[in-house]
Amino acid sequence: MDSIPANRRLWNQISSAYQHEHDPQIGATPRLWGMYSIPDAHLHALGDVTGKRVLELGCGAGQWSRALAAEGATVVGLDLSEAQLAAAADAMGAARYPLVQGAAEQLPFAADSFDLVFCDFGGLSWAPPHLAVPQAARVLTRGGRLVFNVASPWFEVCYDEAASRVTTTLQKDYFGLNSIAEDDGATSYQLTYGDWVKVLRGAGLIIDDLIEPRPDLGTPNGYNETDPPDWAHRWPAELLWVTHKP
Ligand SMILES: C[S@@+](CC[C@H](N)C(=O)[O-])C[C@H]1O[C@@H](n2cnc3c(N)ncnc32)[C@H](O)[C@@H]1O
């Protein structure tokens, strides 16, 4: 299924409201992961990027990319939405980096171009993983790393669509998790743990770690309501995969 046109349309429509609501949190300080803005300094997922060639898949307004560029990485920010890229261009700091319009499932880069490909709820949440993961692996150099954060299957199967909140009740089947219908015909993606492992290994990647970010008690979720409020302190809301190309 080709979700590129509808996903591009959705993100162009919601970009301005999304940045108004979330940029104050996700852009507050560099390197914050996910819905709970957990610092990378606590999770140690990305490591030192100085001098590395880095691609962010679905960079949005570039909160991550501009931080890594300022640290001395050679960063490319890729996104499907021209409105999101315009927000990234507006927010670019002194450390400038190129922005590219493109889709994670059809990367417009030569093989072996990057030492690190990463995203935080970006292209690997919004492109079919069986297409986007092999593309990421293709553009990585040997030894290069693919690191990405997505919602966990727990979070997805406990999400009550009618109440718009995450619950303690299983709401949908776990087996068969794949595409998730979003507003206005857009699609996001989620896999079971087993399917993520198959897709990553099938693309020739080695899995080094699966970090399950755990917010401290009382940390607000900037995106979703959860019932109980400390849901993500008790169950994993996100999966942060750390992999490399051998
Ligand atoms: C939730 S934002 C993630 C960006 C940033 N980390 C953030 O938290 O705001 C999702 C981003 O993925 C982009 N996107 C959607 N589909 C995509 C695709 N197929 N390829 C690349 N980027 C895509 C959207 O335009 C949007 O900027």
Q: What is the pLDDT of residues 179-199, one digit of tens each?
A: 999 999 999 999 999 999 999
How many domains is the chain built from? 1
**Minimum CA distance residue for ligand 1 atom 16:** 126
Q: In the chain, which residue ranges form alpha helices assigned H by DSSP?
A: 4-26, 40-43, 63-70, 82-91, 123-126, 129-139, 153-157, 193-202, 231-234
What pLDDT, on the 0 to 100 scale, is given for residue 178? 96
Q: Is 200 in the pocket of ligand 1 (CB under 6 A)?
A: no
What pLDDT, on the 0 to 100 scale, is given for residue 93? 87
In angstroms, the Cα distances linking 232 to 168, 196, 229, 235 are 11, 21, 8, 5
What pLDDT, on the 0 to 100 scale, is given for residue 165? 97
Q: Please state, in angstroms and rounded to a whole number, the distance separating the CA atoms of residues 68 and 228.
A: 35
Q: What are phi and psi of 13, to 5 degrees?
A: -70, -40
Give the range of the structural domain holding residue 114, as residue numbers without chain letter.
Answer: 4-244
CB 88 within 8 A of CB 59: yes
- CATH number of the structural domain spanning residue 60: 3.40.50.150
pLDDT digits (tens, 9 = 90+) for 82-122: 999 999 999 998 999 999 999 999 999 999 999 999 999 99
Residues of the chain with pLDDT under 50: none
CB 35 within 8 A of CB 221: yes
What pLDDT, on the 0 to 100 scale, is given for residue 51? 98
What pLDDT, on the 0 to 100 scale, is given for residue 82? 98
Tokens representing residue 122 in the block: 């970006």
Q: Is 76 in the pocket of ligand 1 (CB under 6 A)?
A: no
Q: How many CA atoms lie less than 13 Å away from 214 in the CB half-sphere?
A: 7
Q: Please state, in angstroms and rounded to a whole number, the distance separating the CA atoms of residues 127 and 177.
A: 14
Compute, in angstroms, the gap from residue 80 CA to the centroid of ligand 1. 7
Compute, in angstroms, the gap from residue 209 CA to the centroid of ligand 1. 23
Q: Please state, in angstroms and rounded to a whole number, the distance separating the CA atoms of residues 110 and 95.
A: 24
Q: What are phi and psi of 53, to 5 degrees?
A: -90, 120
Q: Is 80 in the pocket of ligand 1 (CB under 6 A)?
A: yes
What pLDDT, on the 0 to 100 scale, is given for residue 1? 56
Q: Which atom of ligand 1 is nearest to the CA of 104?
A: 20
